Amino acid sequence: MLDTMREDLRVIVERDPSIGRRREALLHPALPALWTHRIAHRLHCRGRRMPARLLAYAARRATGVEIHPGARLGRRVFIDHGAAVVIGETARVGDDVTIYHQVTLGAVGWWSDNERPAGERRHPHVGNGVVLGTNATVLGPVTIADHAVIGAQALVNKDVPAHAKVLAPTAVVRPVGHEPRLMEDLFATTASVGSW
């Protein structure tokens, strides 16, 4: 556990250009949420659900990051900024995943999840090396395969193959009286990878 926590600290120094050294990384907003989750997950797996939920609740109040104790996070997961990240109970996040702020790894909704057999997953599985852009929303028991990129503002409710990019349309600025051109519009809808 301590080795994993040291690794979490090292990843923040490596991936966040605003962090100069390890001591400064201790103040990274998502680190307490990640470390608390690692402890809460161990408690959850040992059947200590109430203490695990209390830890998760405290981390959410302190950091704005909500990770259910049942969710499984891999090694070297980097949550940048952390604000409003939500990761559901049956979610699985692989190694070397980058998660930007306002990302949701959620279920479809109680109206369909209550119909699922007990123990069936309700949340996404995210492969290794995946990047989840700002405000990306991944819903349901879908799989995001290794090294895929989910762009900012993208909504995903289907499986995504390895190395694929899922991009949301970008804003199009049209001056008054400007007639749209086909290639301009095509570029505008395919050029969005994120505001990271």
Segment 96-134, tens digit of pLDDT = 999 999 999 999 988 888 888 888 899 999 999 999 999
What is the extent of the structural domain holding 166? 1-193
The residue-averaged pLDDT of 13-34 equals 92
pTM for the complete prediction?
0.86
The confidence score (pLDDT) of residue 187 equals 56
Give the span between the Cα atoms of 48 and 121, in whole angstroms: 20
Give the chain's domain count: 1
Least confident of 7-11, 73-77, 107-111, 152-156: 107-111
Residue 17, token pair as written in the block: 């250009």
pLDDT at 51 over 90: yes
Please give the residue that has the higher pLDDT: either 75 or 112.
Answer: 75
Local structure of residue 170 (DSSP, 8 states) = P
Residue 18 to residue 189: CA distance in whole angstroms: 31
Q: Which residue has the tokens 């962090």?
A: 19
pLDDT in tens, 170-193: 887 778 776 666 655 555 555 444
CATH of the domain at 13: 2.160.10.10
Residues 6+ apart with CB under 8 A from 53: 40, 69
> Tokens at residue 157, please?
């409710």
Among 127, 114, 122, 118, residue whose Cα is nearest residue 161: 127
Percent of the chain with pLDDT over 70: 90
Rank 3-7, 40-44, 106-110, 117-121 by mean pLDDT and report only the highest.
40-44
| Span 2-24, average pLDDT | 92
For the chain, what is the mean pLDDT?
90
In this predicted structure, the answer to whether residue 160 has a pLDDT above a threshold of 90 is yes
Nearest to 19 by CA among 11, 100, 79, 37: 11
Q: What pLDDT was estimated at residue 194?
A: 44
